[in-house]
Structures are given as C-alpha cells and as structure tokens.
Amino acid sequence: MAVGGWLAVGWGHPSRPFVSDHDELEPGAGAKAKYGDLVVLFGGRRMLYPIILSQGETVHVKAGLFHHDDVVAKPFGTIIRSRKARENYLHLLRPTPELWTLSLPHRTQILYTPDISLVTSKLLLAPGSVVVESGTGSGSLSHALARTVAPGGHVYTFEFHAGRAATATAEFVAHSIADVVTCTQRDVCAHGFGLPGIGLEHNYADALFLDLPAPWSAAAAAYNVLKCESIMCSFSPCIEQVQRMCVRLRELGFVDIHTVENVHMPMEVKERQLSVPPYLAHGAKRAGDDAGSDDEASSTAPKRTKSLDGSVRPASHWAARNFAKIGGHSGYLTFARKPVDAAPTVPADYTDPPLAGAPAAATTTTTATTTTTTTAASSAQATSDQ
Amino acid sequence: MESKDNVISEGEQVVLWSNKGFYMIKKASASTSLRMGKKKNGATLAGLVGEPYGSMFHLVGSEMVRMSSVATDTELTEISAPEDGVIGDNRHIKLKEEQTMSAEAIQAMREEGKPVEEIIGQLVESHAAYDSKTAFSQAKYIVKKKQKYEYVLTAYKATAARVADALFDRSPRKLCFLRPDALAYMLTAANVRAGASYAIVDGTNGLLTGAVLERCGGHGKVVNYGRCASPQLHSLSIMHWAQGGDSPILAPLVTTQLEALVNPELAAELAPLPLAEGTAHGLLMVPQDDPLPVLQAIYPILGLGEPFAIFFSYAEPLVACFQWLVETDSAIALRLSHTFLRPQQVLPDRTHPEVSFHNTSGFVLAGHKSMPLADDPSAPTAEEIAAAKARKASMRRTARKRQRSGVRAAAAAAAASPAAPSDDDGAAPAKRAKPLSAE
Ligand SMILES: C[S@@+](CC[C@H](N)C(=O)[O-])C[C@H]1O[C@@H](n2cnc3c(N)ncnc32)[C@H](O)[C@@H]1O
C-alpha cells in the first residue's frame, strides 16, 4: 500500500514519535529512523535506552557501544549492532508512551502503564479531550495523555517544582508534543488551575488527574476547572490520603466516588523440563513384574517420556505462572464525577473546612476561587513557556 | 461537540446504571418500557429524552422523571466516623429482624405513591430492634431500604468505556470475557492513537473495534478481520457516535475477512486488501477461536517494531502464542499478564477492600514485532562469533585467575556484570530479550 504521508515528512525533519500527523496515515512498513528522531534501543527488561539521534554521537550501555549513525536509516524493529563487538545487539523501536514510561529519566515516582491505562479509559479520553493534570512529575502520564487526546485536545499539566517543570517542558519540545501538552509552573493547592493567559478559568476541562501529596487541597480548584458531567481521578499510594480525599470530594458535591486498586500481575512464561521418574515410566519394574525386563526399562532413555499408561509425555512444556514476587501496589485510584446539575463553581467565599488528621499546612491553604484572586495569583505564578 | 451532543435524543441508545446495582443499555424512547423484578412495570424511558447525559431519573408513577443528581448517599459517611470516637457495639442486638410492618402494608404505601422517605420512616418506626443497632448499622439499614424501594437510573452517554462496563456486567461471555480494564490495557499496550492503522480480530461483537475507533477520533485506519463476510458489530453500533450511521469517527473502519490472508482466491475476490504486509501500526486481538492460528495468519500484516496485544480468557493458548513468537524469534518485550482490580470501600474508619468483586477474567499477551536474528543482514560471520567466544572464554579465565589470586573486588565486578559498560570490547552478547514485565 502506498502511504503518501511518509514522503511528505521528508528527511531531516524529526518525525513526531508520540502523536501522528493526522492528515495522512503514519508511515507503516519501512519507516526509518532519522537524525533528530527520538528512538528506543531495546535490549530487554530494564535495558531500554531512549536516544535522540544526532550525527557522530554514540551511546554506551550494558550491551556495548552503539553509534547513532548506525541507527539512522534503519527500519524500526530491526537489529542494531555494536561496531566493535558485532555479536552485541539491540533492537530499534519507535517510541511509544509505554516504552517512554519504562525508559524515562526518573525525577519523581511515576505512574506506570497499568494505572495509566485505567485512568485513560475511566476518564473517557479520546482525541479532542481537554485534560488537566498535576503534578507533572517526570511526565510519564503526560506523554500517554498527549498521545490519546491528540489531535484537537490538550493536556494542561501543572508542577510547582521549577526544575521539574522546566525539564518536562524541554522534553515536550524535544518530543514534538509541545502543541498538545503545556506545562505550567504553579502550586495548584494554593492557586488552582486557572489559565488567564489562555482565557480559561472555570469549567473548561473534560477530565482531570491529580497525583499530589495533599490532593484534598486542590479538590475545590479541581471542581471549578472541570465541566459538569466530567470525571476526575486522584492517585495516592496511601489509604489515609484516599480517605481524606474522599471526605473532601463528598463535601464538594462530587458523585460516583469510588476507589480501586489496580494490581497488575505479570506472569513468567518458560519452557520447563519435566522428567518422568524412572519408576513411574512406562515399562518400569513394578511389584509382580518378572525380573527379566528390569535392565531394559532403566537403560532405554526414550521410555522415560512415556507415562504409566503408555501415553507419551513431552520432554518439555511451555507453561505460565505468576511471578513469585511482584510490584503489587502502586497506589489507589479514586474516581469522582462532577454532577451534571451541580453548581458550576464552589461559592466565591469557599474555604476548605478543616479535615480530620490532615497535615496542618494543607488544611489552612485557601483555594483561590474568585476570578480576581485566581487571575492575580496565577499571573504572578504562571511561568509557562508556551 | 458541545451541548446538543450532551442531550439525550429520542431513540438514542443510552447506558443506564440502576441503583439496584446493574447496567442496562436501552433506547431512550416512549416505546421502551422497563422490566422491574419479575413483572414489566410499564414505566417508559420517554422522560429521558431532552435531558442532559449524566442526569438521574426516578420512578414516579409509571414515568421516569429527572431528579437532582447531587449526592444523596451521604448518610453512611456522616455516621461512620462517630464524633466522640465511640463506635458502639451490638451486645444488645436482637437476633431476629423485628419488622412489624407487613409486606402488604408496604406495598399499599408504594401503590399510593408515598415518597420513599415516608415509607422508610414507617419501617424504622415499626422495627423493634432498630434502636438497638449501632448508628452505623442504622444508617446502613436506611441506605439498604432506600435502594430497595427507590428506583433510580443514571443515564450515561454510550462511550466505549461505558459500553464496555455495561456489556461486561450484562453478559461477559458475549465479550469473550474481555473485562473493561483488560480492554483499557490493550488500548495502551498497542499504542492506539489517532492517525495510525490497526489490524483487529474482534470476538466482542464490535466493542474492541469501537474502542479503537473512538481512540482514533476519525483519523487513521481500523481494519476488522472478521470470521465471515458480514462481521458481527452490534456492540459498535451502540456507541453514541455511531448511532447516526455516518459519523466521522466511523470513517476509518474497514471490514474484511481473516480468511483472505491465507486464501488467495478470496484475497483476489476482496482485493484490494486494506492493509499490505508489514503496514499495521498495531494489532489487537480478542479471538473467539484458538489464538495461535489466528495470530499466525495476521502477524505478517503488523509492521516491524510495532506493538500488539492479545486477550484470551485462558492462559494456555496465549502461552502457545508466546512459545511460537519466541521460537520464531519474531517478538521482543513479550509479556503475559493479568490484572486484579480491587475496589475499596472508603469510609471514615471503615475502609477495607470490597467484599466481592470480579476476579481476573483473562490474560493479555503483549509485545513488539521484531526482526529475527537470523534475518539480520549485519549479523556477524561464523568466524567473528567464534572469535568473540574465544575472547570471552579468555576473559573468563583471567577473571577466574584473578579470583584465585585473591583480587576479590575485581572478580566480584566481573561476575556480577560481565558486560559492564566499561568493557565494551569484551561485552557478552546481549541476551535474547527476556520477557518484559511491566512494573
Ligand atoms: C509523584 S509526582 C507525579 C508523577 C507523574 N504522575 C508521572 O507519571 O510522572 C508528584 C509531583 O507533584 C508535584 N507537586 C506536589 N505538590 C504540588 C502542588 N501543590 N502543585 C503542583 N505540583 C505539586 C511534585 O513536585 C511532584 O513532581
């Protein structure tokens, strides 16, 4: 099949790894890596290396030294070899948000694919959705969200740590998704999600996601930024956080509040040698057998793969079992919906009531909700480069 | 995509959540009448038309009438954490439910159309043991009775995720047991996004195809490889965006037959085939049949390096696929997994995992298609491999010698990571990619 879009992209222009250029189908067969592209070199579990291809560069990893120049013009899925030790190789892959999640430089704890999958589905995301996220952290979720809401949608992600916000923004630019994701440096617990520069204040988000240590301090702001009949999700590793968050969500009038734990269980698949013990093999000596057959039974190897009833047992089996030890807990996901007939915003004079057992600093934070406060606070705070 | 899209229109399929704890998918229309318990009660869904999605409706007479959807279930939360910290106990609890109000009396009140609050008030009054219950179980009693005597529906827009929830709740068998969270995982594992092309084997009557189409947002190509000439796509037709018939979101859909991939005559008949070999950006399968032959037939369509995700309710047939992929050396990042979605009851001082929930209903095999080592044009020659082996053996010998002579640290380093980044030349060949387990 001729794929027109591919020729149009042309050499020298990095292709967009996480979202496609939608007017044409993405290149299929024979898509090749180019200078400027983000690619993933894959050597196995925990051996994934994301690199941006540039002329003359090398990457030195466990499997050896690899030259970027050897990667360029290679189709995805093929094998890249180390020049000096040619028996050493890695596979070249087109990056996906999932591979990025497994290989990104960690600045924080991140969300992994099983949780990301559930969040994406339960927030009903699709191209065109507008999602608000905080904190950005290492951008693991942001990349996956960008992939799903493009084209036409947008991810507004907020991070109060200057370095993390800057690094995330730089990554979004390098990965050519800066038109889909905007990172804003902001303490959302203190200043909410208003985006004065873009004219967005209240009721503009189709979905919202929080991964914050004190999500309840951002709950009122979350309520304001969401459209009615939109869903939010809050991720917390500890049940105490969940408990406080649920109290606050109920107070604010969210409905369908429910919490799940998504335990992803990887399985070990292996070829196993299972031997039939000689005394259980077909033709083995049994009580009452005459002594004559004894030698034969124990010395003829193939017989050992036959069971007592004469049926042939395979010498090996491919089988699956749960891994004995897994990363079993990531966090709890709490979902809540802003009802369709809810007030569009919390009352202008709303302040969070104290929350039993919550850290003092978080409960005293006032969520700015009136137009004037938010605008003033945000313009002072927002340092987005977008 | 604003307002009008968010209002239920006449004849539209709507996902309904009943307060009795189950889903339905029904047409919003005066001609749809609801069944309650054993008898048809005659209440119609006429009342839904013209109201926004997300609204709640309750039964008034024989009509479903819109009510406020602002939270009503606050009793349990408020009661559950007692202010004085004393939870109370049930040492004085009466062992029998001592409800003196007769079933007939309750029925009579209901038929008179008395509000539920009034009926419950009566029930509480005529319940001999009510006062001996703890505050929490009193609240629970009221919630339970409300659920019993009230009939409330929440109307959701039929998006893929909602339809998946509803269909799985109603008849998981018809979806080959594809649980909504497994579907969610497949969509990310196969990197489903706008503007790319997907090959699909859909044993879910179109739910899988619909979910992929929704994530493509009208951009790309979604090819359904059916078992026969006219594939079953009933679940797809339920999606709110598919109900008009020619929606832009349906545009990427192409249906063809799986058989055409192996039967040249049929291929000629159906030509041109929608996807050439090696051109799909992703492969998603929930096969009704043995997954391995299906995978073998469709795998050539998938582009090199592209991801795939296969769901099956039994692990063994996926193990067979895994084995084939490993033995033909045609996939990397292989992982077989299942999820365990554990809902939690979260109430102040009464948080615990829910008592009952759906267990795992199947397994997902995911990975990326890769070039077999044997096909690599840049593969080292036999001599090169022999030389590398010799080099490695000599390295090992030196390491052993060092160990014997007591240079512990060096030996430990060599043993722990024979291919440490420092010794590029002597690095051990990267092992055949091991299954990748997602963290
Ligand atoms: C665990 S990380 C989020 C990881 C992210 N979900 C991912 O997948 O990469 C939490 C982030 O929230 C940020 N954060 C905490 N409190 C915040 C606040 N009040 N406003 C904005 N960001 C905040 C932290 O700096 C941190 O980077």
Q: Is B384 on the interface with A (CB under 8 A)?
A: yes
Q: Which 3 state secondary structure label does DSSP give A154?
A: strand
Task: Say which CATH number the domain at A200 has.
Answer: 3.40.50.150
- The mean pLDDT of B391-414, rounded to a whole number, is 70
Q: Give the residues across from A254 on adjacent strands.
A: none
Residue ranges of chain B that CATH labels 3.10.330:
4-72
Task: Report pLDDT for B93.
Answer: 61
Domain holding A88, by residue range, is: 2-102
> Is residue A269 a part of any domain in this protein?
no
Ligand 1 pocket, residue A113 CB under 6 Å: no
Question: pLDDT digit string (tens) for B272-284?
Answer: 889 888 899 999 9
Q: Give the residues across from B193 on adjacent strands.
A: none
Q: Token digits for B287?
A: 């096969």
> Is residue A144 a part of any domain in this protein?
yes
Tell me how close the Cα of B99 comes to any Cα of chain A, in angstroms: 31
Residue ranges of chain B that CATH labels 3.40.50.150:
171-375
Same domain, A91 and A225: no
pLDDT at A377 over 70: no
Residue B216 CA neighbour count, 13 Å, CB half: 31
| B 87-116 near A (Cβ less than 8 A) | none
Question: pLDDT digit string (tens) for B365-380?
Answer: 999 999 998 888 888 8
Tell me how close the Cα of B269 comes to any Cα of chain A, in angstroms: 17
Q: What total number of domains does chain A contain?
A: 2
pLDDT at B416 over 60: no
Q: Which residue has the least CA distance to atom 18 on ligand 1?
A: A187
Question: Is B431–A320 a contact, with Cβ atoms under 8 angstroms apart?
Answer: no
- The mean pLDDT of B341-362, rounded to a whole number, is 83
Alpha-carbon separation of residue A188 from A135, A201, B168 (angstroms): 9, 13, 37
The dihedrals phi and psi of A285, each to the nearest 5 degrees, come to -70, 130
pLDDT interval class at A15 (50, 70, 90): low
Show Cβ contacts of residue B335 under 8 Å, excluding neighbours closer than 6 positions: A266, A267, B365, B366, B367, B435, B436, B437, B438
- The mean pLDDT of A37-43, rounded to a whole number, is 93
User: In this structure, are residues A61 and B422 in contact, taking their beta carbons and an 8 Å threshold?
Assistant: no
| A 346-365 near B (Cβ less than 8 A) | 356
Q: Which helix (H) or strand (E) holds B220?
A: strand B220-226
- The mean pLDDT of A177-195, rounded to a whole number, is 92
Task: Report pLDDT for A201.
Answer: 76
Same domain, A98 and A174: no
Same domain, A177 and A70: no
User: In this structure, are residues B358 and B165 in contact, taking their beta carbons and an 8 Å threshold?
Assistant: no
Task: Say which CATH number the domain at A28 has.
Answer: 3.10.330.20
pLDDT at A341 over 70: yes
Domain B171-375 has CATH 3.50.30.30: no
Query: Does residue A1 or residue B203 have the better pLDDT?
Result: B203
Name the residue among A87, A80, A88, A63 with its Cα closest to residue B383: A87
Q: What percent of chain A has pLDDT over 70?
A: 78
Show Cβ contacts of residue A349 under 8 Å, excluding neighbours closer than 6 positions: none
Task: Report pLDDT for B38.
Answer: 58
Which CATH number fits the domain B4-72, given the four candidates 2.60.40, 3.30.70, 3.90.320, 3.10.330?
3.10.330
Q: How far apart are CA A145 and CA A275, in angstroms?
A: 49
Q: How many Å lie between the centroid of ligand 1 and the Cα of residue A6?
A: 38
Q: How far apart are CA B332 and CA B430, in angstroms?
A: 13
pLDDT at B78 over 70: no
Same domain, A136 and A225: yes
Question: Is B54–A20 a contact, with Cβ atoms under 8 angstroms apart?
Answer: no
End-to-end CA separation in angstroms for chain A: 38
- The mean pLDDT of A34-54, rounded to a whole number, is 91
Q: Which amino acid is at B75?
A: E
Question: pLDDT digit string (tens) for A250-295?
Answer: 999 999 999 999 999 999 999 988 877 777 776 665 555 554 444 4
Rg (CA), chain B: 30
User: In this structure, are residues B239 and B163 in contact, taking their beta carbons and an 8 Å threshold?
Assistant: yes
> Is residue A380 a part of any domain in this protein?
no
Show Cβ contacts of residue B124 under 8 Å, excluding neighbours closer than 6 positions: B130, B141, B142
Residue with token string 């802003």: A338
Same domain, A68 and A155: no
Q: How far apart are CA A159 and CA A188, in angstroms?
A: 8
Same domain, A243 and A98: no
Q: Is B332 on the interface with A (CB under 8 A)?
A: yes
> Is residue A316 a part of any domain in this protein?
no
Picking from A24, A91, A260, the nearest residue to B342 by CB comes out as A260
Same domain, A93 and A113: no
Q: Is A316 on the interface with B (CB under 8 A)?
A: no
Q: Which helix (H) or strand (E) holds A188?
A: helix A188-191
pLDDT at A166 over 60: yes
Task: Report pLDDT for B142.
Answer: 75
Query: Cis peptide before A215, with omega less than 30 degrees from 0?
Result: no
> Is residue A45 a part of any domain in this protein?
yes
What mean pLDDT is reported for chain B? Answer: 82
> Is residue A292 a part of any domain in this protein?
no
> Is residue A244 a part of any domain in this protein?
yes
Same domain, A181 and A259: yes
The atom of ligand 1 lying closest to the CA of A111 is 8
Q: Which helix (H) or strand (E) holds B37?
A: none
Same domain, A112 and A98: no
Same domain, A18 and A113: no
Task: Report pLDDT for A368.
Answer: 40
Local structure of residue A45 (DSSP, 8 states) = T
The dihedrals phi and psi of A302, each to the nearest 5 degrees, come to -55, -25
Task: Report pLDDT for A32.
Answer: 82
Q: How far apart are CA A314 and CA A331, in angstroms?
A: 43
Rg (CA), chain A: 28
Task: Report pLDDT for A224.
Answer: 94
DSSP secondary structure, A278-321, as one string = GGGSTT---TT--GGGHHHHHH-GGGGGB-TTSPBPPSEEEEEE
User: In this structure, are residues B56 and B152 in contact, taking their beta carbons and an 8 Å threshold?
Assistant: yes
Same domain, A56 and A130: no
Task: Report pLDDT for B135.
Answer: 72
Q: Is A272 on the interface with B (CB under 8 A)?
A: no
Question: pLDDT digit string (tens) for B117-155?
Answer: 788 787 777 777 777 777 777 777 777 777 777 888 999
Q: Which 3 state secondary structure label does DSSP give B317?
A: helix
Q: Give the residues across from B154 on adjacent strands.
A: B17, B56
Local structure of residue B68 (DSSP, 8 states) = -
| B 236-295 near A (Cβ less than 8 A) | 272, 275-281
Same domain, A140 and A15: no
> Is residue A23 a part of any domain in this protein?
yes
User: In this structure, are residues A147 and A120 in contact, taking their beta carbons and an 8 Å threshold?
Assistant: no
Task: Report pLDDT for A1.
Answer: 29
User: In this structure, are residues A220 and A202 in contact, taking their beta carbons and an 8 Å threshold?
Assistant: no
Q: Count A/B contacts: CB-CB distance under 8 Å.
A: 341
Q: Token digits for B424?
A: 């590029």
